[in-house]
């Protein structure tokens, strides 16, 4: 098969897959708004692989938090607390670093029955005070990194699946930058170390950082309930390593194409964009281990 026709086939296949995902997103928007853009952008280079990932992993389940000795969901909370001082008037709970957004709380305690209207206590061995009841639970503290990891695991059946989505989120910024960067460079070319391609890579990397940080900002701002340039800078710091690892794989393949296989391919040719699709796949491969590490250590929040 003619290489030009082969290139055109994979380019059109990517566009078709992006349209297919976009149609489904219009009917069923993602819970995290930025992912509405992430999936179609990645489909441009990943094609059927991205379609599989979207329909398998992109349909996020409700987030659950898996914490030792405590089950939490959006409607109820169950806690086992063996040592308590009880009171007939009010109840205070000291639970450091825990946010509860639940509509009701159910407590499973020895010989105690509670419903929404009254609390019946049948606890012969428990001291009762007429002023207050405090429940101290010092062992319930959980660091932020561990909580993020557990929350990330609960969204997908396997940890590696979540990392795929995290890596694609990073790759969307890189892919968009490498989609528009070559056209900008076509208008304002410059050399670096006497090579046009090095100049183009620097421009693409800067654009990728700007877009990638914006995508990361769109992900973390709703979580932190903060907005502004300071949060954007934090997003840039979070995304820097994963984005850079992606660009390493992408540049590595394009270097092989330029210096070994074809020479400098014109941006206006199908061959260039087909090689760019393969470059994005290489970027995904090099970025995946980095995202695994960053999420595992709690440096980067899972999507």
Q: Looking at residue 274, what is its pLDDT?
A: 97
Q: Are 246 and 284 in contact (CB under 8 A)?
A: yes
Q: Are 87 and 132 in contact (CB under 8 A)?
A: yes
Q: Looking at residue 268, what is its pLDDT?
A: 93
Q: Looking at residue 117, what is its pLDDT?
A: 45
Q: Are 4 and 262 in contact (CB under 8 A)?
A: no
Dump strand ranges (E) for 95-161: 106-108, 112-114, 119-121, 134-136
Cα angle for residues 211, 206, 256 (degrees, 5° grid): 110
Instruction: Give, for all 303 residues of the chain, the pLDDT tens digit.
Output: 689 999 999 999 999 999 999 999 999 998 888 899 999 999 999 999 999 999 998 865 443 333 334 444 444 444 444 444 444 444 444 444 444 444 444 444 444 444 444 444 444 444 444 444 444 444 444 444 444 444 444 556 678 888 999 999 989 989 999 999 999 999 999 998 888 889 999 999 999 999 988 888 888 887 777 788 888 888 888 889 999 999 999 999 999 999 999 988 999 999 999 999 999 999 999 999 999 999 888 877 666
pTM of the model: 0.67
| DSSP code string of 151-171 | HHHHHSSSHHHHHHHHHHHHH
Domain ranges of the chain: 3-59+146-296
Crossing angle of the two packed helices 3-27 and 48-57, in degrees rounded to 10: 20
Distance in angstroms (rounded) separating the CA atoms of residues 183 and 207: 12
Q: Looking at residue 1, what is its pLDDT?
A: 60
Distance in angstroms (rounded) separating the CA atoms of residues 30 and 25: 7
Crossing angle of the two packed helices 229-256 and 270-296, in degrees rounded to 10: 130
Q: Looking at residue 134, what is its pLDDT?
A: 44
Retrieve residue 67's tokens: 């914490």
């Amino acid at each position: 098969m003619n290489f030009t026709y082969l290139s055109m086939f994979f380019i059109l296949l990517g566009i078709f897959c992006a349209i297919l995902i976009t149609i489904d997103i219009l009917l069923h928007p993602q819970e995290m708004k930025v992912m509405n853009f992430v999936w179609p952008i990645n489909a441009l280079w990943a094609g059927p692989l991205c379609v599989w990932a979207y329909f398998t992993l992109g349909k996020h389940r409700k987030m659950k938090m898996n914490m030792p000795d405590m089950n939490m969901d959006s409607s109820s909370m169950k806690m086992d607390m063996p040592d308590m001082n009880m009171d007939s008037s009010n109840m205070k709970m000291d639970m450091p670093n825990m946010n509860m957004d639940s509509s009701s709380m159910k407590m499973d305690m020895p010989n105690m029955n509670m419903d929404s209207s009254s609390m019946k206590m049948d606890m012969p061995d428990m001291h009762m005070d007429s002023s207050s009841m405090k429940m101290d639970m010092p062992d319930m503290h959980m660091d932020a990194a561990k909580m993020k990891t557990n929350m990330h695991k609960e969204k997908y059946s396997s940890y590696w699946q979540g990392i795929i989505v995290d890596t694609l989120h990073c790759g969307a910024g890189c892919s968009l930058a490498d989609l528009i960067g070559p056209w900008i460079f076509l208008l304002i070319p410059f050399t670096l170390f006497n090579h046009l391609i090095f100049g183009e890579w620097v421009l693409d990397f800067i654009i990728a950082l700007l877009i990638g940080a914006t995508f990361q900002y769109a992900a973390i701002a709703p979580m932190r309930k903060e907005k502004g340039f300071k949060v954007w800078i934090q997003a840039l710091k979070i995304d820097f390593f994963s984005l850079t690892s992606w660009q390493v794989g992408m540049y590595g393949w394009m270097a092989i194409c330029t210096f070994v296989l074809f020479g400098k391919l014109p941006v206006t040719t199908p061959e260039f964009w087909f090689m760019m699709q393969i470059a994005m796949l290489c970027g995904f491969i090099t970025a995946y281990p980095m995202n695994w590490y960053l999420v595992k250590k709690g440096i980067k929040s899972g999507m």
